[in-house]
Protein backbone atom coordinates (compact mmCIF):
# COMPACT_ATOMS: atom_id res chain seq x y z
CA UNK A 1 0.00 0.00 0.00
CA UNK A 2 1.24 3.47 -0.85
CA UNK A 3 2.48 5.71 1.92
CA UNK A 4 3.25 9.41 2.27
CA UNK A 5 6.52 10.58 3.78
CA UNK A 6 6.31 14.17 5.08
CA UNK A 7 9.02 16.26 6.69
CA UNK A 8 7.27 19.07 8.51
CA UNK A 9 8.15 22.63 9.42
CA UNK A 10 7.81 24.39 6.09
CA UNK A 11 5.41 27.32 5.59
CA UNK A 12 3.36 26.71 2.43
CA UNK A 13 3.48 29.52 -0.08
CA UNK A 14 2.04 29.78 -3.55
CA UNK A 15 -1.08 29.04 -5.58
CA UNK A 16 -3.25 25.93 -5.58
CA UNK A 17 -6.20 25.09 -7.85
CA UNK A 18 -9.27 23.33 -6.45
CA UNK A 19 -10.66 20.30 -8.31
CA UNK A 20 -14.30 19.43 -8.94
CA UNK A 21 -16.39 18.17 -6.01
CA UNK A 22 -16.29 14.38 -5.62
CA UNK A 23 -19.60 14.43 -3.75
CA UNK A 24 -21.30 16.20 -6.62
CA UNK A 25 -19.62 14.21 -9.38
CA UNK A 26 -20.79 10.88 -7.91
CA UNK A 27 -24.56 11.61 -7.96
CA UNK A 28 -24.26 13.47 -11.29
CA UNK A 29 -22.62 10.42 -12.88
CA UNK A 30 -25.39 8.22 -11.48
CA UNK A 31 -28.00 10.62 -12.90
CA UNK A 32 -26.83 9.73 -16.41
CA UNK A 33 -28.53 6.32 -15.95
CA UNK A 34 -31.88 8.15 -15.97
CA UNK A 35 -31.49 8.94 -19.67
CA UNK A 36 -30.81 7.08 -22.93
CA UNK A 37 -29.07 10.20 -24.23
CA UNK A 38 -25.52 11.40 -23.58
CA UNK A 39 -24.76 13.32 -20.39
CA UNK A 40 -21.47 15.21 -20.55
CA UNK A 41 -19.83 16.15 -17.23
CA UNK A 42 -16.86 18.52 -16.99
CA UNK A 43 -14.48 19.32 -14.10
CA UNK A 44 -14.67 15.80 -12.63
CA UNK A 45 -11.95 15.33 -10.02
CA UNK A 46 -9.36 12.71 -10.99
CA UNK A 47 -9.83 10.61 -7.83
CA UNK A 48 -10.38 6.92 -7.17
CA UNK A 49 -14.08 7.16 -6.33
CA UNK A 50 -14.79 8.64 -9.76
CA UNK A 51 -12.91 5.81 -11.42
CA UNK A 52 -14.92 3.32 -9.34
CA UNK A 53 -18.21 5.03 -10.27
CA UNK A 54 -17.20 4.90 -13.93
CA UNK A 55 -16.55 1.16 -13.60
CA UNK A 56 -20.00 0.71 -12.08
CA UNK A 57 -21.67 2.58 -14.96
CA UNK A 58 -19.78 0.47 -17.50
CA UNK A 59 -20.68 -2.75 -15.62
CA UNK A 60 -24.35 -1.72 -15.91
CA UNK A 61 -23.87 -1.37 -19.67
CA UNK A 62 -23.38 2.39 -20.10
CA UNK A 63 -20.63 3.70 -22.33
CA UNK A 64 -18.27 6.29 -20.87
CA UNK A 65 -16.01 8.29 -23.16
CA UNK A 66 -13.28 10.48 -21.72
CA UNK A 67 -12.29 13.08 -24.35
CA UNK A 68 -10.09 14.61 -21.69
CA UNK A 69 -9.08 13.52 -18.20
CA UNK A 70 -11.78 15.45 -16.31
CA UNK A 71 -14.63 15.12 -18.79
CA UNK A 72 -16.89 12.06 -19.05
CA UNK A 73 -19.49 11.61 -21.79
CA UNK A 74 -21.87 9.00 -20.36
CA UNK A 75 -24.49 7.26 -22.51
CA UNK A 76 -26.76 4.80 -20.71
CA UNK A 77 -28.75 3.82 -23.78
CA UNK A 78 -28.18 0.06 -23.47
CA UNK A 79 -28.32 -0.85 -19.78
CA UNK A 80 -28.27 -4.65 -19.46
CA UNK A 81 -27.54 -5.08 -15.79
CA UNK A 82 -29.70 -3.60 -13.05
CA UNK A 83 -27.51 -4.20 -10.06
CA UNK A 84 -24.52 -2.85 -8.16
CA UNK A 85 -22.55 -5.85 -6.84
CA UNK A 86 -21.06 -6.15 -3.35
CA UNK A 87 -17.44 -5.98 -4.49
CA UNK A 88 -18.10 -2.51 -5.88
CA UNK A 89 -20.42 -1.24 -3.16
CA UNK A 90 -18.02 -2.30 -0.40
CA UNK A 91 -15.24 -0.21 -1.92
CA UNK A 92 -17.53 2.76 -2.45
CA UNK A 93 -20.82 3.14 -0.62
CA UNK A 94 -21.87 5.91 -3.01
CA UNK A 95 -22.67 3.06 -5.44
CA UNK A 96 -26.06 3.05 -3.67
CA UNK A 97 -26.76 6.11 -5.83
CA UNK A 98 -27.48 3.63 -8.64
CA UNK A 99 -30.67 2.58 -6.83
CA UNK A 100 -32.79 5.63 -7.60
CA UNK A 101 -31.97 5.91 -11.31
CA UNK A 102 -32.30 2.16 -12.05
CA UNK A 103 -35.60 1.96 -10.18
CA UNK A 104 -36.98 5.08 -11.83
CA UNK A 105 -36.05 4.28 -15.42
CA UNK A 106 -36.26 0.45 -15.49
CA UNK A 107 -38.57 -0.29 -12.56
CA UNK A 108 -36.04 -2.60 -10.94
CA UNK A 109 -32.75 -2.46 -9.06
CA UNK A 110 -30.58 -4.77 -6.99
CA UNK A 111 -27.86 -3.13 -4.94
CA UNK A 112 -25.71 -4.70 -2.28
CA UNK A 113 -26.35 -3.24 1.16
CA UNK A 114 -23.28 -1.11 1.88
CA UNK A 115 -21.59 -2.35 5.02
CA UNK A 116 -20.67 0.17 7.64
CA UNK A 117 -17.38 1.94 7.31
CA UNK A 118 -14.78 3.39 9.66
CA UNK A 119 -16.87 6.45 10.55
CA UNK A 120 -20.11 4.68 11.33
CA UNK A 121 -22.76 2.09 10.48
CA UNK A 122 -24.19 4.41 7.80
CA UNK A 123 -27.43 2.53 7.09
CA UNK A 124 -29.60 3.38 4.08
CA UNK A 125 -32.95 2.70 5.78
CA UNK A 126 -34.16 6.23 5.05
CA UNK A 127 -33.49 5.76 1.31
CA UNK A 128 -35.47 2.51 1.30
CA UNK A 129 -38.44 3.84 3.30
CA UNK A 130 -38.63 6.77 0.90
CA UNK A 131 -38.63 4.52 -2.18
CA UNK A 132 -41.58 2.65 -0.63
CA UNK A 133 -43.38 6.00 -0.31
CA UNK A 134 -43.08 6.20 -4.12
CA UNK A 135 -44.81 2.84 -4.45
CA UNK A 136 -41.71 0.66 -4.73
CA UNK A 137 -41.59 -2.81 -3.23
CA UNK A 138 -38.28 -3.10 -1.37
CA UNK A 139 -36.93 -6.27 0.21
CA UNK A 140 -33.60 -7.44 1.59
CA UNK A 141 -32.19 -10.72 0.35
CA UNK A 142 -28.77 -12.15 1.25
CA UNK A 143 -27.26 -8.73 1.84
CA UNK A 144 -28.84 -7.14 -1.21
CA UNK A 145 -31.57 -4.56 -1.60
CA UNK A 146 -34.07 -5.74 -4.22
CA UNK A 147 -36.38 -2.95 -5.33
CA UNK A 148 -39.26 -3.09 -7.80
CA UNK A 149 -41.55 -0.33 -9.05
CA UNK A 150 -45.29 -0.97 -8.68
CA UNK A 151 -46.97 -2.90 -11.51
CA UNK A 152 -46.88 -0.82 -14.64
CA UNK A 153 -43.24 -0.27 -13.91
CA UNK A 154 -43.37 3.39 -12.91
CA UNK A 155 -42.92 4.96 -9.49
CA UNK A 156 -45.73 7.17 -8.18
CA UNK A 157 -45.01 10.62 -6.72
CA UNK A 158 -45.66 11.09 -3.00
CA UNK A 159 -44.83 12.99 0.19
CA UNK A 160 -41.56 12.02 1.86
CA UNK A 161 -40.42 13.30 5.23
CA UNK A 162 -36.82 12.32 6.03
CA UNK A 163 -36.47 11.61 9.77
CA UNK A 164 -32.81 12.66 9.45
CA UNK A 165 -31.06 14.84 6.90
CA UNK A 166 -29.40 12.43 4.47
CA UNK A 167 -27.33 13.73 1.56
CA UNK A 168 -27.29 10.65 -0.67
CA UNK A 169 -30.80 9.77 0.51
CA UNK A 170 -32.01 13.13 -0.81
CA UNK A 171 -30.05 12.61 -4.05
CA UNK A 172 -31.39 9.08 -4.58
CA UNK A 173 -34.96 10.30 -4.16
CA UNK A 174 -34.49 13.36 -6.39
CA UNK A 175 -33.40 11.02 -9.17
CA UNK A 176 -36.16 8.46 -8.50
CA UNK A 177 -38.87 11.16 -8.36
CA UNK A 178 -37.72 12.83 -11.59
CA UNK A 179 -39.31 10.00 -13.64
CA UNK A 180 -42.17 9.12 -11.26
CA UNK A 181 -45.80 9.72 -12.21
CA UNK A 182 -47.00 12.92 -10.51
CA UNK A 183 -45.42 15.20 -7.93
CA UNK A 184 -43.06 14.23 -5.10
CA UNK A 185 -42.41 16.52 -2.14
CA UNK A 186 -39.26 15.97 -0.05
CA UNK A 187 -39.40 17.41 3.49
CA UNK A 188 -36.24 17.79 5.61
CA UNK A 189 -34.20 17.40 2.43
CA UNK A 190 -30.44 17.96 2.55
CA UNK A 191 -29.39 21.46 1.41
CA UNK A 192 -25.72 20.85 0.54
CA UNK A 193 -24.35 22.61 -2.59
CA UNK A 194 -23.93 19.15 -4.15
CA UNK A 195 -27.73 18.73 -3.95
CA UNK A 196 -28.25 21.98 -5.88
CA UNK A 197 -25.63 20.92 -8.41
CA UNK A 198 -27.45 17.62 -9.03
CA UNK A 199 -30.77 19.49 -9.35
CA UNK A 200 -29.22 21.79 -11.94
CA UNK A 201 -28.06 18.80 -13.98
CA UNK A 202 -31.43 17.03 -13.67
CA UNK A 203 -33.28 20.17 -14.83
CA UNK A 204 -30.88 20.50 -17.78
CA UNK A 205 -31.86 16.91 -18.64
CA UNK A 206 -35.52 17.95 -18.63
CA UNK A 207 -36.50 17.21 -15.04
CA UNK A 208 -38.67 19.58 -13.00
CA UNK A 209 -36.94 19.96 -9.64
CA UNK A 210 -37.81 23.00 -7.54
CA UNK A 211 -36.53 24.13 -4.15
CA UNK A 212 -33.08 22.47 -4.28
CA UNK A 213 -30.88 23.98 -1.57
CA UNK A 214 -33.83 24.32 0.79
CA UNK A 215 -35.26 21.68 3.12
CA UNK A 216 -38.46 21.37 1.02
CA UNK A 217 -38.07 20.17 -2.55
CA UNK A 218 -40.79 19.54 -5.11
CA UNK A 219 -40.18 17.27 -8.08
CA UNK A 220 -42.72 16.87 -10.88
CA UNK A 221 -42.05 13.59 -12.67
CA UNK A 222 -41.65 13.57 -16.47
CA UNK A 223 -41.90 10.77 -19.03
CA UNK A 224 -38.24 10.74 -20.02
CA UNK A 225 -35.02 12.69 -19.57
CA UNK A 226 -32.64 13.75 -22.31
CA UNK A 227 -29.04 14.83 -22.80
CA UNK A 228 -27.21 17.58 -20.97
CA UNK A 229 -23.81 19.13 -20.48
CA UNK A 230 -22.75 20.23 -17.00
CA UNK A 231 -19.70 21.46 -15.11
CA UNK A 232 -19.27 20.09 -11.59
CA UNK A 233 -18.93 22.66 -8.78
CA UNK A 234 -15.59 23.09 -6.98
CA UNK A 235 -14.86 20.86 -4.00
CA UNK A 236 -15.68 22.85 -0.85
CA UNK A 237 -13.98 20.27 1.41
CA UNK A 238 -10.74 20.31 -0.58
CA UNK A 239 -10.92 24.12 -0.36
CA UNK A 240 -11.33 23.96 3.43
CA UNK A 241 -8.48 21.48 3.66
CA UNK A 242 -6.08 23.83 1.86
CA UNK A 243 -7.23 26.77 4.02
CA UNK A 244 -6.26 24.61 7.01
CA UNK A 245 -2.92 23.76 5.34
CA UNK A 246 -2.04 27.45 4.91
CA UNK A 247 -3.09 28.21 8.48
CA UNK A 248 -1.37 25.28 10.22
CA UNK A 249 1.97 25.94 8.46
CA UNK A 250 1.74 29.73 8.98
CA UNK A 251 2.12 30.11 5.25
CA UNK A 252 0.24 32.01 2.58
CA UNK A 253 -1.81 30.29 -0.11
CA UNK A 254 -3.77 31.65 -3.02
CA UNK A 255 -6.60 29.13 -3.46
CA UNK A 256 -8.15 29.45 -6.90
CA UNK A 257 -11.06 27.84 -8.79
CA UNK A 258 -13.02 27.56 -5.54
CA UNK A 259 -16.53 28.71 -4.51
CA UNK A 260 -16.27 30.54 -1.13
CA UNK A 261 -20.06 30.75 -0.83
CA UNK A 262 -20.17 26.95 -0.41
CA UNK A 263 -18.07 27.01 2.75
CA UNK A 264 -19.17 30.19 4.52
CA UNK A 265 -19.46 28.43 7.91
CA UNK A 266 -15.92 27.06 7.56
CA UNK A 267 -14.47 30.44 6.53
CA UNK A 268 -16.28 32.17 9.44
CA UNK A 269 -14.95 29.65 11.96
CA UNK A 270 -11.37 29.85 10.66
CA UNK A 271 -11.47 33.68 10.67
CA UNK A 272 -12.83 33.56 14.22
CA UNK A 273 -9.80 31.44 15.17
CA UNK A 274 -7.46 34.08 13.71
CA UNK A 275 -6.88 32.84 10.15
CA UNK A 276 -6.70 35.74 7.66
CA UNK A 277 -8.89 34.90 4.65
CA UNK A 278 -9.36 37.44 1.88
CA UNK A 279 -11.56 36.99 -1.18
CA UNK A 280 -9.42 38.23 -4.09
CA UNK A 281 -12.26 37.53 -6.53
CA UNK A 282 -15.41 35.35 -6.52
CA UNK A 283 -13.36 32.17 -7.09
CA UNK A 284 -10.06 32.94 -5.33
CA UNK A 285 -9.11 33.13 -1.63
CA UNK A 286 -5.85 34.41 -0.15
CA UNK A 287 -5.19 32.66 3.17
CA UNK A 288 -2.51 33.40 5.77
CA UNK A 289 -2.17 33.31 9.54
CA UNK A 290 0.49 35.52 10.94
CA UNK A 291 -0.70 35.86 14.53
CA UNK A 292 -1.26 33.08 17.04
CA UNK A 293 -4.38 30.99 16.42
CA UNK A 294 -7.07 31.01 19.12
CA UNK A 295 -9.01 27.87 20.06
CA UNK A 296 -12.67 27.99 19.02
CA UNK A 297 -15.40 25.43 19.69
CA UNK A 298 -17.19 23.82 16.75
CA UNK A 299 -20.23 21.58 16.28
CA UNK A 300 -20.73 19.72 13.01
CA UNK A 301 -24.22 19.97 11.47
CA UNK A 302 -25.83 19.53 8.06
CA UNK A 303 -25.33 22.37 5.56
CA UNK A 304 -25.12 25.35 5.85
CA UNK A 305 -23.50 24.75 9.26
CA UNK A 306 -19.92 23.53 9.78
CA UNK A 307 -19.56 20.28 7.75
CA UNK A 308 -18.63 16.96 9.34
CA UNK A 309 -16.19 16.45 6.44
CA UNK A 310 -14.07 19.32 7.79
CA UNK A 311 -14.05 18.16 11.43
CA UNK A 312 -10.86 16.10 11.28
CA UNK A 313 -8.92 18.85 9.49
CA UNK A 314 -10.17 21.42 12.02
CA UNK A 315 -9.05 19.21 14.91
CA UNK A 316 -5.51 19.11 13.49
CA UNK A 317 -5.50 22.91 13.30
CA UNK A 318 -6.77 23.29 16.87
CA UNK A 319 -3.74 21.38 18.17
CA UNK A 320 -1.79 24.53 17.19
CA UNK A 321 -4.31 27.05 18.61
CA UNK A 322 -4.05 28.75 22.01
CA UNK A 323 -6.62 27.41 24.50
CA UNK A 324 -9.28 24.73 24.73
CA UNK A 325 -11.40 23.81 21.67
CA UNK A 326 -14.50 21.64 22.17
CA UNK A 327 -15.37 19.73 18.99
CA UNK A 328 -18.79 18.08 18.79
CA UNK A 329 -19.45 15.57 16.00
CA UNK A 330 -23.22 15.29 15.60
CA UNK A 331 -23.48 13.61 12.17
CA UNK A 332 -21.51 10.34 12.45
CA UNK A 333 -21.11 8.14 15.49
CA UNK A 334 -17.43 7.28 15.14
CA UNK A 335 -15.57 10.06 13.43
CA UNK A 336 -12.70 10.71 15.84
CA UNK A 337 -10.27 8.01 14.70
CA UNK A 338 -7.75 10.68 13.72
CA UNK A 339 -7.59 11.85 17.38
CA UNK A 340 -5.56 8.84 18.57
CA UNK A 341 -3.09 9.27 15.69
CA UNK A 342 -2.72 12.99 16.46
CA UNK A 343 -2.13 12.08 20.12
CA UNK A 344 0.75 9.86 19.03
CA UNK A 345 2.33 12.99 17.54
CA UNK A 346 2.00 14.83 20.84
CA UNK A 347 -1.43 16.43 20.55
CA UNK A 348 -3.39 16.91 23.77
CA UNK A 349 -6.88 15.63 22.89
CA UNK A 350 -9.44 13.91 25.10
CA UNK A 351 -12.40 12.15 23.47
CA UNK A 352 -15.67 11.38 25.23
CA UNK A 353 -18.39 10.00 22.97
CA UNK A 354 -19.35 12.62 20.38
CA UNK A 355 -17.13 15.28 21.95
CA UNK A 356 -13.39 15.85 21.66
CA UNK A 357 -11.52 18.52 23.64
CA UNK A 358 -8.27 19.82 22.17
CA UNK A 359 -5.82 21.70 24.41
CA UNK A 360 -3.32 23.74 22.40
CA UNK A 361 -0.88 24.75 21.27
CA UNK A 362 1.25 21.59 21.51
CA UNK A 363 4.35 20.94 19.42
CA UNK A 364 3.85 17.87 17.23
CA UNK A 365 6.59 15.41 16.33
CA UNK A 366 6.57 13.23 13.24
CA UNK A 367 5.58 9.58 13.68
CA UNK A 368 4.48 6.52 11.67
CA UNK A 369 0.68 6.81 11.30
CA UNK A 370 -2.14 4.81 9.75
CA UNK A 371 -4.97 6.53 7.89
CA UNK A 372 -8.45 5.21 8.71
CA UNK A 373 -10.76 7.12 6.38
CA UNK A 374 -10.74 9.85 3.79
CA UNK A 375 -10.93 12.97 5.95
CA UNK A 376 -8.91 11.51 8.83
CA UNK A 377 -6.10 11.01 6.28
CA UNK A 378 -6.24 14.71 5.41
CA UNK A 379 -6.01 15.55 9.10
CA UNK A 380 -2.85 13.45 9.46
CA UNK A 381 -1.28 15.14 6.41
CA UNK A 382 -1.97 18.55 7.96
CA UNK A 383 -0.37 17.45 11.23
CA UNK A 384 2.64 16.06 9.36
CA UNK A 385 3.12 19.41 7.62
CA UNK A 386 3.57 21.20 10.95
CA UNK A 387 5.25 18.40 12.96
CA UNK A 388 9.01 18.42 13.51
CA UNK A 389 10.76 15.54 11.84
CA UNK A 390 9.41 12.85 9.58
CA UNK A 391 5.86 11.50 9.40
CA UNK A 392 5.01 8.35 7.46
CA UNK A 393 1.30 7.88 6.72
CA UNK A 394 0.25 4.39 5.66
CA UNK A 395 -2.90 3.39 3.72
CA UNK A 396 -3.07 6.60 1.75
CA UNK A 397 -5.49 4.90 -0.62
CA UNK A 398 -8.08 6.45 1.69
CA UNK A 399 -6.96 9.93 0.70
CA UNK A 400 -6.74 9.02 -2.99
CA UNK A 401 -10.50 8.45 -2.94
CA UNK A 402 -11.29 12.12 -2.54
CA UNK A 403 -8.24 14.31 -3.13
CA UNK A 404 -6.73 14.74 -6.59
CA UNK A 405 -2.93 14.44 -6.44
CA UNK A 406 -2.81 16.04 -3.00
CA UNK A 407 0.92 15.39 -2.61
CA UNK A 408 1.67 17.06 -5.96
CA UNK A 409 -0.47 20.08 -5.07
CA UNK A 410 1.21 20.38 -1.65
CA UNK A 411 4.73 19.91 -3.09
CA UNK A 412 4.03 22.68 -5.60
CA UNK A 413 3.56 25.14 -2.72
CA UNK A 414 6.65 24.08 -0.78
CA UNK A 415 5.69 21.03 1.27
CA UNK A 416 8.28 18.31 1.72
CA UNK A 417 6.00 15.37 0.90
CA UNK A 418 6.45 12.35 -1.31
CA UNK A 419 4.45 9.21 -2.16
CA UNK A 420 6.20 5.91 -1.39
CA UNK A 421 4.78 3.40 -3.83
CA UNK A 422 4.95 0.02 -2.20
CA UNK A 423 5.32 -2.32 -5.18
CA UNK A 424 5.81 -5.30 -2.85
CA UNK A 425 2.30 -5.35 -1.41
CA UNK A 426 0.65 -3.69 -4.39
CA UNK A 427 -0.94 -6.96 -5.69
CA UNK A 428 -2.50 -7.47 -2.24
CA UNK A 429 -3.48 -3.83 -2.11
CA UNK A 430 -4.96 -4.21 -5.56
CA UNK A 431 -7.30 -6.96 -4.38
CA UNK A 432 -8.25 -4.85 -1.40
CA UNK A 433 -8.54 -1.62 -3.28
CA UNK A 434 -9.83 -2.92 -6.56
CA UNK A 435 -7.04 -1.20 -8.45
CA UNK A 436 -3.57 -0.02 -7.42
CA UNK A 437 -3.37 3.71 -6.96
CA UNK A 438 -0.28 3.60 -9.18
CA UNK A 439 -2.57 2.48 -12.00
CA UNK A 440 -4.44 5.69 -11.52
CA UNK A 441 -1.19 7.53 -11.89
CA UNK A 442 -2.44 9.68 -9.01
Residues binding ligand EPZ (CB under 6 A): 23, 26, 94, 120, 122-127, 164, 166-169, 308-309, 331-332, 374-375, 402
- For the CB of residue 9, give the shortest distance to ligand EPZ in the complex, in Å: 28
CB nearer to ligand EPZ: pick between 296 and 398? 398
Beta carbons within 10 angstroms of residue 64's beta carbon: 17
- For the CB of residue 163, give the shortest distance to ligand EPZ in the complex, in Å: 8
Strand, helix or coil for residue 363: coil
CB nearer to ligand EPZ: pick between 117 and 357? 117
CB nearer to ligand EPZ: pick between 160 and 367? 160
Nearest CA-CA partner of 154 in 203, 101, 105, 109: 105
Report residue 8: phi and psi, to 5°.
-80, 180
What span, in angstroms and rounded, lies between the C-alpha atoms of 347 and 199?
42
- For the CB of residue 56, give the shortest distance to ligand EPZ in the complex, in Å: 13
DSSP class per residue in 54-89 = HHHHHHHT-EEEEEETTEEEEE-SS----EE-HHHH
CB nearer to ligand EPZ: pick between 347 and 399? 399
- For the CB of residue 374, give the shortest distance to ligand EPZ in the complex, in Å: 5
CB nearer to ligand EPZ: pick between 173 and 367? 173
- For the CB of residue 342, give the shortest distance to ligand EPZ in the complex, in Å: 18
CB nearer to ligand EPZ: pick between 131 and 360? 131
Strand, helix or coil for residue 148: strand
What span, in angstroms and rounded, lies between the C-alpha atoms of 105 and 180?
9
What span, in angstroms and rounded, lies between the C-alpha atoms of 311 and 148?
38
What span, in angstroms and rounded, lies between the C-alpha atoms of 255 and 277?
10
Residue 191 is among the residues annotated as catalytic for this protein: no
What span, in angstroms and rounded, lies between the C-alpha atoms of 94 and 24?
11
- For the CB of residue 129, give the shortest distance to ligand EPZ in the complex, in Å: 8
DSSP state of 339: H
Residues catalogued as catalytic? 117
Amino acid sequence: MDKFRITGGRALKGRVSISGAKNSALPCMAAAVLSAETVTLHNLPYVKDIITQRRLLEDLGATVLTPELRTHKITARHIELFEAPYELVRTMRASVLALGPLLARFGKAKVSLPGGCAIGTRPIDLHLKAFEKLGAEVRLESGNVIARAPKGGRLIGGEINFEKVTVTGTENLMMAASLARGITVLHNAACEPEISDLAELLNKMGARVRGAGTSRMEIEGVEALGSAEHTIIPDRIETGTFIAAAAITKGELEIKDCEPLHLAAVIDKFRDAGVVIQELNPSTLLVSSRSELSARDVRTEPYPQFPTDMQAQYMALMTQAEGLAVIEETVFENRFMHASELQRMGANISVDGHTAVVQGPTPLTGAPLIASDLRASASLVLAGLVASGETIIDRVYHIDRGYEKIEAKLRAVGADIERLRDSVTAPLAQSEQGTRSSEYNL
